[in-house]
Structure 1
Amino acid sequence: MMKNVYLLRVFFEKFKPHILIILTEFGYTFLYFFTDASFKHGMNPHIHVTYRQIVATIALFPFAYFLERKSRPRITVALFLEIFVLSLFGLEAVDLRNPRGIAKVLGTLVSLGGAMVMTFYKGPIITNLWHPLIHMQHTATHHVHENWLKGSVLTVSSCISWALSYIMQAFTLKRYPAQLSLTTWMNLIGAAQTGVFALLTQHKPGVWKVGINIDLWCIMYAGIVGSALVVYIQLWCTEKKGPVFATMYSPLGAVLVALLAYFVLGQRLYVGSIVGGVIVLVGLYLLLWGKEDVHKLRDESIASNHVSHDEP
C-alpha cells in the first residue's frame, strides 16, 4: 500500500505541470458553455468580463497578501517600463539541428493546423445517437448573426494576443516571481480597463444589473476558476516549464468543447472536428516528445554541475 502511494506521488510530481495544465483546459471548456448560456440569457459580454475580474481579484487578494508578503518583490515604475520594453524578446529556444527541436516546431504547427481545421472546416454532420443530457435554453430575443470573415479575424487576433501574453508573463515572472500577487494585479488592472470601456460604450438601462440566475453563477465560476485559479496555474506552469509548455495544450480545449457539446448537449458534430481533433493530438505528441529531451538534458546538466562542484 505504501509503495503504491509512493509511486503515485512520484508520478504526480513528475507529471504535475502536465496534469495541472490539462485541468485548466477542462476548466476553460466548462467556462465556454457557462458563458454561452449566460450570453444567450442576455448578459452583456463587457459587463461579464468586468464582474468576473472583480470577483477574481477579491478571491485572490487574501491569499496573495498573506502567503507572499515576505517573498513579493516591490513594484517600481522602472520595473514596469523594463517589462514593457523587454517582454517581447522572450522566446522558446529551438535547436533546428536536433530532431527533437524540429519535432517541437512541427508539433506546434500541426496542433495549430488541427485547431484551424476544427474551426474553419465542417464537412458532413455526424448523426446524434441519443437525446442530449442537458438542454440549453435561451431567450426568444437572442439571435445569432454569423459573419465568417469577422469571426475569423477576431479568432486569429485572439490567438496572437493570447500567445504574446504568455511570452510577456514568462518575462514578468523573472522580475516578479510571485504568481498569486501577479494574478491579482492582472485581474485588478483588467477589471479597471474593461470597467472603463464598458462605462463608455454600454448605456442601456439596467445593463449592470445581475440577478440570481445563470448570469451570477457564470460570473462566479468565471471569476474564481477562469480568471483566478486557471490563470494562477498557467503562471506557475509558465515559470516552471516556459511559455510554450503553458500554451501547447490549448488546442486540446477545442477537442474537449466539441466532444462535450456532442455527447452532453446534443449539438452538431462535424467530420472536420474529428479530423482536426486527431491532428491536434498528433501535434501534441510531437511537441511533448520534443520538449521531453530538453528537460532531460537540463536535469542532467544540473546533476553534472552538482557532481563537479562536490569533487575535490
Structure 2
Amino acid sequence: MAPMVGKMGMIYRRFKPHILMVLIHVGYTIMYLITDAAFSHGMNPHIFVTYRHVLGGLVMFPFAYFLERKVRPKMTLALFFEIFLLSLVGVSLTLNMYFASLEYTSPTFGTSMINVVASLTFVIAVALRLEGLDVRNARGIAKVLGTLISLAGVMTMTLYKGPEVQTWKGAPIHLNRSNSVHENWIKGPILAGASCISWSLWYIRQAFTLKKYPAQLSLTAWINLIGGAQSAAFTVLIQHKPAAWSIAFNNIDFWSIVYAVIKEWSCMLRYNNLHSIMVH
C-alpha cells in the first residue's frame, strides 16, 4: 500500500501544474452554468458583475490589509489612476461585455471563448514586441501551433450546431431559456470577442502594474472594489428598476454571486501556486 501511495504522490507532484489548470477551468465552467441559470431566472448580468466584485473586494480587503502591510507600497494619485484604468478594462468593460454575451449565446460557447484569451494575449504581446517569437525552435513552433489549435477549437464550437441536449428533469438547476433571453449569434459573439480582447489587454497591463505595486491581494481588492463601483455606475444608467437590485437569499441569483466570489478566491490561490511552481 505504501509504495502505491508514494507512486501516486510522485505522479501528483509531476502533473500538479496540469491538475491545477484543469481545476481552474472546471471552476470556470461551473460558474458559467450557474450564472446562465441565474440570467435565465431573470437576473441582470450587469448587476451580477457589480455584486460579485463588491462582495469579492469586501471579503478580500481585510486579508490584503493585514497580510501585506509590510510589502504594500504607498498609494499615490498616479498609481490610483492606473489601478482605476486597470479596473475599467478588466472589470467594467471585460466582464460586463462577457456576461452580457451569455444572454445571447450559451455556456458552452462562453467556456470555449475563454480559451482564446491566452492566444490573444500571446498575439498582442508579440505584436507589441513585449514577447519574442522564434519559429526556428520547438518552443516557438509549439506556441504558434497552440494558438492556431485554440482558435480553431473556438471556431468549431461557434459554427457547429449538433443535436440539442435536454436537461435532466430532476436536476436542481435548469438551463432552459426564458422568454426574456434571446439567442443572437451576431451580437453574442461580438460581445464575447470584444471582452476577450479587453481581457488580454488587462493581463498585459496588469503585469506592468504589479511591478509598481507588488501586492497581489491588495491589487486584487482594489480592482474588485473600484471595478464594482464602476459597474454600479454603469448599471444605474441603463437599469431604472430598483427592484432589479433585490436579491433573495434562497434562489439561484444569490448563490451564483457567492460561487463566483469563491471561485475567484480559489482560482487566485491556484494561479499563485502555479506561479510559484513555474518559478522554482
State the TM-score, normalizing by the size of structure 1.
Answer: 0.65
- RMSD, matched Cα: 3.4
Distance 2:78 2:228 in 1: 23
Residue by residue over 1:83-115, the C-alpha shift from the partner in whole angstroms, topping out at 9 and shown as x without a partner, is 879x97574432212122111111111112112
Contact 1:37 1:136 in 2 (8 A): yes
Distance 1:7 1:136 in 2: 39
Contact 1:173 1:239 in 2 (8 A): no
Distance 1:64 1:209 in 2: 29
Equivalent position amino acid for 1:222 in 2: A
Give the SS at the match of 2:242.
coil
Equivalent position amino acid for 1:121 in 2: Y
**Any stretches of 5+ residues in structure 1 without a counterpart?**
242-294, 300-312
Q: Aligned to 2:133, which of 94, 108, 113?
A: 94
Contact 2:53 2:224 in 1 (8 A): yes
**1:238 CA drift (Å):** 6.2
Q: Is the alpha carbon distance of 1:10 and 1:185 closer, same or farther for their aligned partners in structure 2, counting shifts above 3 Å? A: farther
- Report what 2:212 is aligned to: 175
**Any stretches of 5+ residues in structure 2 without a counterpart?**
87-123
Q: Is the alpha carbon distance of 1:145 and 1:67 closer, same or farther for their aligned partners in structure 2, counting shifts above 3 Å? A: same
Query: Is 1:186 aligned to residue 186 of structure 2?
Result: no
Q: Is the alpha carbon distance of 1:120 and 1:215 closer, same or farther for their aligned partners in structure 2, counting shifts above 3 Å? A: same
- Report what 1:53 is aligned to: 53
Q: Is the alpha carbon distance of 1:146 and 1:127 closer, same or farther for their aligned partners in structure 2, counting shifts above 3 Å? A: closer
Contact 2:42 2:180 in 1 (8 A): no
Q: How many residues align?
A: 239
State how 1:279-294 maps to structure 2 within 5 Å: none
Greater alpha carbon shift after TM alignment, 169-178 vs 150-159: 169-178
Contact 1:38 1:214 in 2 (8 A): yes
State how 1:1-312 maps to structure 2 within 5 Å: 12-79=12-79, 91-122=130-161, 124-125=162-163, 131=168, 134=171, 136-137=173-174, 142-212=179-249, 213-226=251-264, 228-231=265-268, 233-234=270-271, 237=274
Distance 2:229 2:82 in 1: 22
Distance 1:131 1:34 in 2: 15
Distance 1:4 1:75 in 2: 52
Distance 1:185 1:135 in 2: 35
Equivalent position amino acid for 1:115 in 2: V
Distance 1:238 1:91 in 2: 19
**1:127 CA drift (Å):** 7.3
Residue by residue over 1:10-31, the C-alpha shift from the partner in whole angstroms, topping out at 9 and shown as x without a partner, is 6555544433232121111111
Q: Is the alpha carbon distance of 1:234 and 1:120 closer, same or farther for their aligned partners in structure 2, counting shifts above 3 Å? A: farther
Distance 2:20 2:129 in 1: 23
Q: Is the alpha carbon distance of 1:229 and 1:92 closer, same or farther for their aligned partners in structure 2, counting shifts above 3 Å? A: farther
State the TM-score, normalizing by the size of structure 2.
Answer: 0.71
Equivalent position amino acid for 1:163 in 2: S
- Report what 2:91 is aligned to: none
Greater alpha carbon shift after TM alignment, 131-140 vs 56-65: 131-140
Give the SS at the match of 2:244.
coil
- Report what 1:280 is aligned to: none
Give the SS at the match of 2:245.
coil
